[in-house]
Every structure is written in C-alpha cells, then in structure tokens.
C-alpha cells in the first residue's frame, strides 16, 4: 500500500485553516506625561508618605516601575531637547536653559520623536510646557508664530512658551497667542522694562507670592516673573487654573481623536507645569498636604493624571495605550519664591536615597521616576533595574512602530523596547549625565568629571557636584554617593574617562 504524505497532511491543514488567525496587534496609543521638577522620592510608589499619589501609583501598580530611569540632564531645556531629538544636548550649543523669548532650538528639518511617530501614522499633540524656543529670531507675539511644535512632527499644540516663572505668561495654540486683543499688543524683554508695569522689585506690596531670588520683574496675577512684559492683559493666564486648563486640553485631544480619527493611533505629549515654580495650586488643592505649596501641587498633578487615565478608560483605550510618566530633572525646594517648600518639607525626601537634585551632577539630578503601563504588553506590578534614559524614547518608539531612523538622526538614542516590555533587565550599557559637569554611568560605576565652581548652589541649597576633582562612586554599594573611590580605583577611573572622551568626540551609534 502506497503511503501519501499529502493525503495525511491535507485534512490537518484544512482543519487548521478553519480556525481564524489571530489579529495582528494594532500599534498602541502613546501618552507621555512629562512632569517638571518631580523627584525620585516624591511619589507613593517610590516611598513618599507625606503626599498621596494614588493615580500615579496606579500606573506603577498596573505596569512597571523603573528604578534606574533618567532624564538626559539635570535641567529642563536640555532634557527636553534630548528627549525629542535623541541627541545629548551637550553636543549642541544653545541648548541651555532657554529664556522666554528664545528662538526655536530644534531646526524644522530635524527628525524628532514626534516626526517618527507621525511617519508611523500617528496623530500627535503636545499640551503644556514647551521651553524649547519659538520662531526664528526677534519674535512678534502679536503675529502668527513660525517654527514651533507644528514644524517638528506635532499635528496640534497648546503650550506655555517657556516656564511658569518666565514671561510671556500666555498660552499659545498652534501659531497664535490664545485670547490676544490686537488693541493690546504684547511686548516682551529680558534686557529691561518695556513700560511702567509694576514689578516685584519696585512694588512688593502687590505680590500674593513673594519672590526670593531672580523672580522680581513684571507682576502677572500677583506673582513677579523673570523678564518684562507689557500688554496682552486678556490673554494672560491665571496660575491657579493652569492645571485644569492643560488637563482639559489633553482630554479634549483624546476625545476628539476618538470621534474623528478612531482608526489612527495617537501620541499625546502631556508636559505639565507642576511641580515647577511658581507653585500656585487651585483652591481645591491648597492646604491638601503638610508640605505646603509643593506638596499641594504634587497632589494636583496626581489629580491631572487621574483625569487622563479616566478619559482613556471611558473610551476603552486603556488596554492598548502605552502610558509613560517621568520627569525632566530632579527635585528642588526653594527655586525662587517664598512658598515654604523647604521650611515645611519635614521628613519628606524628594530625591529618595539619592544625593543632589535639580542642577546637580549627583544622582538625584537625573535619576527620576519612570513608570510605564501598557496592559496589552507590559506585565503588571513589576520593577526593572534596567538603565533607561528619556533620550532612548526616539529609538524605542521607532522600534515599537516599525519605523527606521534616518542616518545621522537620534545619534545617542538606543532601542530599549525589550527593557520597556520587561524582556531585558539591563538596558543601555552606559549613560552620560549632564549638569555643570558631565558624568558617565556604566554598570555599578559612576564617574563625575572634575569641575570648578561652588560645591553648593546657595540659592537653591543643592550640592552641585563641583568638587574640583574627579569622583568615582560604586552606586550598588553606595547609592548615596558618599565615598569617592577615585584614589583607590585608578583603573576604573581611566576606563570611564576614556569612554566619556570617546563619546564626547563621537556619538553612541551602537543601538
């Protein structure tokens, strides 16, 4: 009797084909919540007890908390530049903390995180703090603004141009100042007064929040700012309403997307003002915590996050939406206003067990909360020690969406999708951290280059890391960076310094 292989397999193949094939997973929506000045220890899920953050903690509970997540720099503008471009900001001049009237720092022909996702078919929006400059030169705030988020891959934008403590104190939607009266034109200057409007320096009796250092120019909403502004009275924001305004705009983007573009994935870059100064919580949150205004705006931030999570749930988007929450740099207490943040801090440890904070080369300058939730792919209630930096979002999201990165773009970004999904526990091999000096992390070791300057920033009372000598720390044994091992580990110092020099003179192309 002849044996026919085809005769045996044909019925089995037919049976298998009778079952429906599993659907190809749709690309996830992405919500990136970028908090301002939030410290590693400011959340319940990272040890805080003086302020409750149940909504933020829920992201960690339903996803992964990264214990070694970093911003690329210890201050805001360079961190934001690195996040969007995938390039260390210290490679480019003009990426320091930007004034309120700075020209656009990122060129319109630059491939950005938003560009990558736009190419992958995403509709994208940025809502909140921008602080990467606008326009191409002397900016006229009374005319359409060229060179901004809409030129960098975002389909929609509703932003505050710089920071809450800098003029102009207005929202910009798309290319226009919101609510501008043509009969009351805006003028902005960072070199001197533009009219006789009261300032914190000359009219302290008009202030509802007193300045401590550097924030003594034009008064807006009873708070003096950095820089001078005139006009635009009807367009000026009310600080107490800012969290509500920005959250409502973020929710609106999601809801309009669902109703009009439901076949298309979306990317929302929700860049909060909280917990940056001036800390002026809505009356609903004023007095909510024992920490004063700083604790109150953390509670307010948590409410904002809760609103976004509820919106995702309402539209049944939770399962296939990647939500990431992180911060642009480490914490600071007194950053220019007398809001009692330092006096009422008590036993709260904004930086957790780490040394330093905003502006610092020590670990708390860039080690920040990093939480990721994607119920369809990321296991719940997990933690990861993988070394992860925000600069890696560009290459990681490109891999997630199947997009290639053009040659020369995102030179320092690494594809950490396996780490994001819990499949790799190591993350990137090394990381350069930027503050006054450059530092380099590799494995358990961290080297801080020798840098001159004050060891403590007296205005904000934070150690800078500028000790005038090379520092080497074993972060596994000494996470608080208390024992400088440079003298006893010269080989390790030489290896890390050589690696840093190589990176400084080239780029990290080993994705």
The Cα-based distances of 187 to 182, 231, 340 in angstroms read 12, 6, 32
Domain ranges of the chain: 29-177+238-427, 187-230, 431-505
Which is nearest to 351 in space by CA: 324, 323, 327? 327
Cα separation, 130 vs 300, whole angstroms? 20
Q: Residue 293 has which token pair?
A: 């205004």
Round to whole Å and give the CA distance between 298 and 37.
Answer: 10
Q: With a cut of 50, which residues of the chain have pLDDT below it?
A: 1-24, 511
Query: Which run of H or E residues covers position 298?
Result: helix 293-314
Q: In whole angstroms, give the CA distance from residue 162 to residue 166.
A: 7
The CA–CA distances, whole Å, from 442 to 72, 386, 474 equal 15, 12, 10
Q: For the domain 29-177+238-427, what is the CATH superfamily, name and number?
A: Alkaline Phosphatase, subunit A (3.40.720.10)
pLDDT tens track for 437-471: 999 999 999 999 999 899 999 999 999 999 999 99
pTM: 0.94
The pLDDT assigned to 17 comes to 35
The pLDDT of residue 26 is 84
What pLDDT is recorded for position 25?
65
Segments of 217-330 assigned E as strands: 219-220, 223-224, 228-230, 266-271, 321-327
According to the CATH classification, is domain 431-505 in 3.30.1120.10?
Answer: yes
Distance (Å, whole) CA 169 – CA 147: 19
Per-residue CA distances from 293 to 30, 129, 223, 277, 347 (Å)? 31, 20, 14, 10, 16
């Amino acid at each position: 009797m002849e044996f026919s292989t085809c005769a045996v397999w044909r019925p089995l193949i037919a049976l298998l084909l009778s079952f429906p094939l599993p659907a190809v997973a749709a690309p996830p929506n992405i919500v990136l919540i970028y908090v301002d000045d939030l410290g590693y220890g400011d959340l319940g899920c990272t040890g805080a007890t003086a302020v409750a953050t149940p909504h933020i903690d829920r992201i960690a509970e339903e996803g992964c908390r990264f214990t070694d997540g970093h911003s690329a720099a210890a201050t805001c503008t360079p961190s934001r530049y690195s996040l969007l471009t995938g390039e260390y900001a210290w490679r480019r001049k003009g990426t320091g903390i930007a004034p309120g009237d700075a020209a656009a720092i990122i060129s319109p022909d630059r491939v950005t995180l938003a560009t990558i996702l736009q190419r992958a078919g995403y509709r994208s929006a940025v809502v909140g703090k921008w602080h990467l400059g606008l326009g191409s030169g002397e900016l006229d705030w009374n005319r359409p603004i060229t060179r901004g988020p809409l030129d960098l891959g975002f389909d929609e934008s509703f932003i505050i141009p710089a920071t809450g403590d800098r003029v102009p104190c207005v929202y910009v939607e798309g290319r226009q100042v919101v609510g501008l009266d043509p009969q009351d034109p805006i003028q902005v200057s960072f070199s001197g007064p533009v009219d006789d409007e009261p300032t914190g320096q000359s009219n302290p009796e008009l202030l509802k929040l007193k300045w401590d250092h550097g924030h003594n120019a034009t008064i807006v909403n009873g708070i003096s700012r950095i820089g001078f502004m005139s006009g635009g009275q009807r367009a000026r924001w009310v600080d107490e309403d800012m969290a509500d305004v920005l959250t409502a705009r973020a929710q609106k983007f999601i809801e309009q997307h669902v109703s009009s573009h439901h076949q298309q994935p979306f990317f929302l870059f929700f860049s909060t003002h909280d917990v940056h100064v001036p800390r002026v919580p809505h009356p609903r949150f004023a007095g909510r915590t024992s920490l004063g205004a700083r604790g109150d705006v953390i509670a307010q931030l948590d409410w904002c996050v809760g609103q976004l999570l509820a919106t995702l749930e309402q539209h049944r988007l939770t399962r296939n939406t990647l939500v990431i929450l992180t911060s642009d740099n480490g914490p600071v207490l007194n950053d220019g206003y007398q809001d009692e943040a330092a006096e009422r801090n008590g036993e709260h440890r904004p930086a957790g067990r780490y040394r330093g904070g905003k502006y610092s080369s020590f670990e708390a300058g860039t080690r920040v909360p990093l939480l990721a939730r994607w119920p369809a792919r990321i296991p719940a209630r997990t933690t990861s020690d993988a070394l992860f930096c925000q600069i890696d979002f560009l290459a990681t999201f490109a891999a997630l969406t199947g997009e290639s990165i053009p040659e020369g773009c995102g030179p320092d970004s690494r594809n950490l999708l396996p780490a994001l999904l819990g499949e790799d526990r190591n993350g990137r091999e090394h990381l350069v951290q930027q503050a006054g000096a450059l530092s380099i992390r590799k494995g358990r070791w961290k080297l801080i280059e020798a840098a001159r300057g004050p060891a403590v920033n007296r205005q904000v009372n934070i150690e800078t890391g500028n000790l005038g000598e090379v520092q080497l720390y074993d972060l596994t044994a000494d996470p608080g960076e208390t024992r400088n091992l440079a003298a006893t580990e010269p080989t390790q110092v030489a290896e890390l310094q050589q690696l840093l020099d190589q990176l400084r003179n080239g780029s990290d192309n080993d994705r």
